[in-house]
Amino acid sequence: MSADFGTRLRELLADSGSSLRATARALNYDVAYLSRVTNGRQRPSRQMAEALDEFLQTDGEFVELVKPKAMRLPSDEPSATISDITHMKSSAAYLLSHADRYGADTVAPAAVQIWRTAQRKLDAGEVPEREQRGYLSAVSEAAEVAGWLLFDAGEREAARQAFLESHILARHAGDRSMQWFALDMLAMLDNECGRPGEAGRISEEVLSQGRIPPRVATLALIRRGGARARMGDRQRAMADFDAARGGLEESVSPRDPEWAWWVNYREFTGHSAHALLILGDAGAAIPKLHSALEVATPRGVMFYRVGLLHSYARAKAWSDAEEEIHQISALLDTIRSGRNRLLLREALRVVERSPGVPAGLAALATYSIAAIGCGARSAECRRDCK
């Protein structure tokens, strides 16, 4: 599949007169990664296919090329197991794409249903032994997808359970790639829930393993840097982010897992900005958040705008903070993300309680907190993250 994708991409780039480097820059992808895809040496992600379709105006052609194809048995009829795996992968691609545009609140339950249904089949012993390893890996991935969407929906304890289950399944399958992914997600979750010690220990466990792929190591450094920032260790936190930036500057390795395609400068910049904010350097965080905002998905736009609101409040940039509140309010009807609402409430409280805040802005923050609402999910988040 990748070779067909790469051949078509080379043809269209030649026709358009766009260089590989210029295309990579426009799409915010590493040029080395795009080169490997173009030469058929690495599988392209659906997100890359969507970006290329938009950039080259190919009306979904590249998305069609990356759609999973069902594996066939000698009888040319797919087994129930292969059919399940194909469904899990295609559903995950759709649900993740939806969440990037609109937030995960509405699709997280569907992801959980897909994961739990597949896991019940495993638990009941309904998967033939010869197909169990591949099925275990697929269910591990389904659990990871469900965990990420639960996390974005603000259901952090449920997300943690999904990530833990994903790690167990991946270990049973002997799938190191998914084990690393689950550990990374757990470290991310622990950082955001105020458990930096645990996030740091998970990151150390990953970094201590032999011959981990470069992008996996980069993510572990980012998570450990975030944990150290939360513990007030600025020097070592910034050292981790410097090392992570160095890792990003190296070429993409063929050992990098397929899921690591999104480990790019946008991710690095956003996480380093939040670390600086946590360390009390809002002035340094603001330009980084603006940089990440320029290339963010719609859901990411809201996330980075919330970070900017928090930063402006810390920097006492009151007019900028007021403008961000209005910008974010316009997104709330479209982006349904419990995680973003939780972080928004926290940022608004910073505005509301900041010394010297103008009375009108404090009142706007108070009104906005009430307008967001406090549903069951957000209450669960507050309880779980204490």
C-alpha–C-alpha distance, residues 194 and 200, integer Å: 12
Domains and CATH numbers, the chain: 1-67 (1.10.260.40), 282-384 (1.25.40)
Q: Are 338 and 377 in contact (CB under 8 A)?
A: yes
C-alpha–C-alpha distance, residues 328 and 219, integer Å: 28
Looking at residue 45, its pLDDT comes to: 81
Looking at residue 205, its pLDDT comes to: 95
Task: Fill in the DSSP letter of residue 78.
Answer: -
Helices 214-230 and 176-192, packing angle to 10 deg = 20
Tens place of pLDDT for every residue, the chain, 386 residues?
A: 344 788 888 888 888 888 887 888 788 777 777 877 887 767 788 878 888 888 888 888 888 888 765 444 444 555 788 889 999 999 998 999 999 999 999 999 999 999 999 999 999 999 998 899 999 999 999 999 999 999 999 999 999 999 999 999 999 999 999 999 999 999 999 999 999 999 999 999 999 998 899 889 999 999 999 999 999 999 999 999 999 998 886 656 677 888 887 788 888 999 999 999 999 999 999 999 999 998 888 999 999 999 999 999 999 999 999 999 999 999 999 999 999 999 999 999 999 999 999 999 999 999 999 998 644 344 444 444 44
Written as one letter, the residue type at 130 is R
CA proximity to 44, closest of 258, 241, 233: 258
Looking at residue 385, its pLDDT comes to: 43
C-alpha–C-alpha distance, residues 12 and 17, integer Å: 8
Q: Are 368 and 325 in contact (CB under 8 A)?
A: yes
